[in-house]
Every structure is written in C-alpha cells, then in structure tokens.
Structure 1
Amino acid sequence: MKNTASQCMVVATLITNIVFAAAFTLPGGYNQNTGIPFFRKEPSLIIFVISDAVSLISSSTSILMFLSILTSRYAERDFLESLPKKLMFGLATLFLSINVTMMVAFSASFFVLYDKKVEWVPITITSLAGMPVILFAILQFVSI
C-alpha cells in the first residue's frame, strides 16, 4: 500500500503541475496591452477554465490522501478500515483529475482554437479524448 500510494502521489504531483501551468497559459493567449484573454467570452474557454480548476483541486486532494497514507501510523485497525478508504478516495480523485477533467479541458481547448468552418476537427478530437475514460471504466468493471 505504501508503494502504491508513493507512486500515485508522484503521478498526482505531475498532473497538478501540468494543470497549474495550463491555468496561466490559456488557449489563444492574452491581449498584450490589456492582459485580457482573447477568447474570454467563448463558452469553450469557460469550460476549459472550470475543468482545469476541478482537475487542479482533485489532483491536489489526491496528493493529500496519498500523503495521509504515507504518514499513517500503520496500526492493525488502520489496514482494515482507514487506509483502504483513503487509497480508494485518492485513486478516485486521481481518476477524476486525469481521465475526466483533463480530457474535458483538452477537448475544450480545441473548440476555442479552431474556427467554426472546421468544426469537425474538435468534434473528432473530443470523441477520441473520451476513449481513455471509457476504456478505463471497461477495464475496471469487466474481467478479461
């Protein structure tokens, strides 16, 4: 459990760094004179910002859950109740951060950047971005 928590904490930390940086490098960039994002009124940019924030919050929560596992006192009772619950909650928030909100932010950025004339590009990419989420769910619930 300690090795799993340690490795997942590394992944969660990397995700936190990525989504933190993405929050300040918005798709389309900023107006150099005013500092306001070019596409600030686009619904896709709002979706990008919200999903990026949720990804940051959930990956930070995941880091804290894994840290609480690593700093646990490892009593016998902890292995029966507390630690498995912490591990499951940490994995769930890591899944939310990586597979759900990061893919939504990725897809929303394509809708911000591509012109309405080539709308098939972000639609195709969004469809493909949903595949890891679906694949992970299938692998978790179906035994192969």
Structure 2
Amino acid sequence: MSFLQRAVEDFTYSNLLDYASQTRDPVEQMAYVVAFSVSCYSSTAYRVGKPFNSLLGETYECDRTDDMGWRCISEQVSHHPPGCSQYCESLRHKWKVWQDYFLSTKFRGKYLSISPKVFGISLAMVTLEEEAERGKLELKVDVGGMIGIEEGG
C-alpha cells in the first residue's frame, strides 16, 4: 500500500461528514467533523509497517461515488520529507475536504516512529455547503503541531 492510498483511507468514516452536512445545528456539525478527524486513527493499531513512499508527482484517484458518494485525488508533492496534498468531495452530500500531509519517519531497528512535521502542518479544511441563507461553514482541523479548530464562513 502506498502513502497516497493510506491517505485516502481517512475517508472510511465519511458518513460522519454526511451527517454533518445534513444537520442544521452548528455544534453538532462541529462534533461530527471532529469525530471524522480522529476516525483516521481507527486502523493504526493493525498497521505493523509504514506505507511505501510514492514517487514525486505521483497521483492516486479513488472514485467511490457509486457506493459512498465521494471521489478523491491525492498527489505526492514532496519526497523528503514525504508529503502529499489531497482533495475529496461528496457530490451527494455537498462537502469538500482539502488535506496536506507531511510526515517524518524514522526506523531505528526496534521501533518505527512516524510523526507530523511541524513546518508542514497537517491541515484539513472541511466545507459543508448549505442553503444560500446560511452561507457555508468552513472548519479547519489542525492535527499537526498545535491542536485546535478554527471556524469561519
């Protein structure tokens, strides 16, 4: 499995973004988006090896519009350190996600360390499109460096 394929696995629980786009309560929307942002760690307990580094400029496209209603494209934008940019959108539930991953990996013989790079902060931008009267809600979830959520729209 490549680094780009692993990045697309974050959308396993995309139904949480579907729920966030359907509810009108902004607090509930934020709760669903935060739950989605931590759901990507659900499969890490079963991973014993790091994903293969993709080649610089390599892209990976995943189209799940038939069963889950979204499509995603990822591109390897940096090789050292490994980094990718990703865009995913749901045509059915009207949400969009932009993400950047820059990781530092170290293998010391007995352990493997994978951590977000501070200078390349892992940032997810989630946009939930709604009716024209409310505009749109944008949530930025910073999962590298300082932890926080920025709301705007």
TM over 0.5: no
- If you compute each CA radius of gyration, which structure gives the higher value, 1 or 2? 1
Structure with the bigger percentage of strand: 2
Structure with the bigger percentage of helix: 1
Q: Which structure carries more relative contact order (alpha carbon 8 Å, separation 6+)?
A: 1
